[in-house]
Structure 1
Amino acid sequence: MSGLRVVPAYRHGRERLYVCREDGGNVAWYDRETGRVNLLAEDGRDDVLRALKPFLTGPVTVGPPPVPTPAELARLALHPDDDLAPNRPGEALLVALDRDPGPAHRLRPDPRRRALLAEETAGLALDGLEGAGWHTLHSVALPGGDRIHHLAIGPGGLFAVHALYARRCRVLVADPMVTLGRREAEPLLRRLRAAADRASYALTAEVRPLLVLVGPAEVSVTAGPRGVRVLRDDELAGLARLGGVLKPADVEALHGMARDRNTWLRV
């Protein structure tokens, strides 16, 4: 096999180097992140490695492409309109503000923008856990108008995350009530538990509720909230230290199920 050329391309944010024949057909590709050369035909192994030699960094594994897992096959079959993975943090609020930005001049800030800031702050921290084996879905809509701000899936389990804007506020958590500053207390923890229960039903796996307080001045918890974890936004990175609940294959399978919009239609 001669006349091979190497063509760089990007898939899902990762660089791949494709090895092509003169007619444009692919014979192999090199994934730098995994250090693997995937051969479509074993008889061209030496020619492929010769073409890739200037691009190889460190030791590589050479062999046929890995067989897709059931989760990967399900993802490939998912219609783009039903895939929740591309959702941005605060996706629902971003769409609502785009459709109705509200008056240009207001005496008070639009509460939707504060809520959006909270979701974006928590979402950015959760997305940062990807390197530790976590996946996060944002703005998971539930029937009836409810919404899970973030669904985190990783080695430490599944969490239905609610982000609450609490900038410079004193927060009092007295299950099931949450009080921000001088505002009236709300039974927020009850709603969080209900949303987590619905997610558990949809995914047939335990989903735990997690309340994230974004920018609070002070947090007081009068008693340990039943089944609800309460964290500041700067403590979310600590989830990376949790493990022992889900294996990598389970994380991928649950993520594949959760990202399908149809999973949430009957909860």
Structure 2
Amino acid sequence: MSGSRGPDDRHRLRVIPTWRHGQERLYVCHEDGRNVAWYDREAGRVNLLSEGEQDDILHALGPFLTGPVMVGPPPVPTPAELARLTLHPDDDLAPNRPGEALLIALDREAAHAHRLRPDPRRRALTAEQTVGETLDRLDGAGWHALHSIPLPGGDRIHHLMIGPGGLFAVHALYARKQRVLVADPMVTLGRRETQPLLRRVRSDADRASYALTAEVHPILALAGPADLRVTAPPRGVRILQDTDLAALTRLGGVLKPADVEALHAMARDRRTWGRV
């Protein structure tokens, strides 16, 4: 029969691992590069683009399957997923690394900079990276972290967390081995000049609330302080050390999974932040 295939045809399928949005996918394709399926290990699902080749696809994936799987056509995308798929890469903030804006600025100046003293932005970058890496580890608990969100006027929200417990604008502060005194709105770091930092932290959250039309709570995250003293509970602001940020996963009952995904799709769009 002209349409039949020999027993070795299934071996012409190749399995190619890729990473999309921080998650591994195993694509199954023909020698000409045409995709016929992909395996989402985290979801335990094999998505078929060619149902007539199901047996061959499962045979090719056999060494990679880690347990029982669902098999079928790809699920219909949600409105949030459709919004993400239509988002231009230049407008997508999800790939931003912690401290993205500082990394770009420091790399741009490195070639012709001759500083006699350490650049203070290096410490700020360390704080954002320390806090950001901690927040990224909460992703598996149903949370999404966005980093270095640009605002009009050159300001930035260091980190935005979206999850079952709500939305949080997180400002990272380098405080390694230093004493921190918080007397709302003032923050004193070691022997440095006292700054009204909590005003900035609250302002970031207010601007995020306006952009997302949802309540956003402010957090000041201290990276590595030797001691923290708060004279009185600050108005509406959580003061946390970077090692305590995982406690956010214990918060819940505020947003449903569909709301989390919809808000994440909105927040990752650079255009959302253009008028705040």
- Please, which of 36, 40, 43 is the counterpart of residue 34 of structure 1? 43
Distance 1:17 1:228 in 2: 43
Provide the residue aligned with 1:141 in structure 2.
Answer: 150
**Counterpart of 2:230?**
221
Greater shift in the superposed pair: 185-194 or 196-205? 185-194
Give the aligned length. 266
The CA deviation string for residues 109-132 of structure 1, in whole angstroms up to 9 with x for no partner, is: 221111111111111111111111
Query: SS at the partner of 1:205?
Result: coil
Q: Deviations over 1:130-173 (max 9, x none)?
A: 11111111111111121111111111111111011112221111
TM-score, with length taken from structure 2? 0.89
Deviates more, 1:19-28 or 1:241-250: 19-28
Paired AA for residue 93 in structure 2: L
Q: Residues of 2 paired with 1:139 and 1:259: CA distance?
A: 11
Q: Deviations over 1:193-235 (max 9, x none)?
A: 1110110010011100000111111111111011100001111
Using structure 1 for the length normalisation, give the TM-score.
0.92
Call closer, same or farther: CA 1:51–1:185 in 2, change over 3 Å: closer
Which amino acid in 2 is paired with 1:153? I
Does 2:92 match 1:91?
no
Secondary structure of the equivalent of 1:16?
strand
Contact 2:15 2:61 in 1 (8 A): no
SS of residue matched to 1:144: helix
Question: What RMSD, in angstroms, separates the aligned Cα atoms of the two structures?
Answer: 2.0
Matched, 1:7 2:10: no
Alpha carbons of structure 1 residues 116 and 23: separation in structure 2 relative to 1, 3 Å: closer
Match of 1:211 among 220, 226, 244: 220
Q: CA deviation at 1:14?
A: 3.8
Q: Are 2:89 and 1:80 aligned?
A: yes
Structure 1 segment 35-50 matched on structure 2, within 5 A:
35-50=44-59
Which residues of structure 2 form unaligned runs of 5+? none
Q: What residue number does 1:236 align with?
A: 245
- Find the counterpart in structure 2 of residue 157 from structure 1: 166
CA distance change for structure 1 residues 77 and 223 in 2, over 3 Å: closer, same or farther? same
Q: Does 1:198 align with 2:207?
A: yes
Task: Give 2:242's aligned amino acid.
Answer: D
How far is the alpha carbon of 1:90 from its aligned partner?
Answer: 0.9
Q: Could you tell me which residue of structure 1 aligns to residue 109 of structure 2?
A: 100
SS at match of 1:239: helix
Evaluate the alpha carbon distance shift between residue 173 and residue 66 of structure 1 in structure 2; reply closer, same or farther with a 3 A threshold: same
Query: Do 2:92 and 2:269's aligned partners in 1 also have CA atoms closer than 8 Å?
Result: yes
Per the TM alignment, residue 41 of structure 1 is displaced from its structure 2 partner at its CA by: 4.3
Q: CA–CA distance in 1 between the matches of 2:28 and 2:177?
A: 56
Q: How does 1:161-176 map to 2 (within 5 A)?
A: 161-176=170-185
Query: Which residue is 2:118 aligned to?
Result: 109
Give the letter for the 1:165 counterpart: Y
What code does the residue aligned with 2:84 have? R
Which ranges in structure 1 are unaligned for 5 or more consecutive residues? none
For 2:250, the aligned partner's letter is R
Aligned counterparts of 2:166 and 2:54: Cα–Cα separation in 1: 41
Deviations 1:63-101 (A, max 9, x none): 211001111111111111111111111111111112224
Asked if 1 retains the 8 angstrom alpha-carbon contact of 2:15 and 2:27, the reply is yes
CA distance in 1, matches of 2:197, 2:42: 42
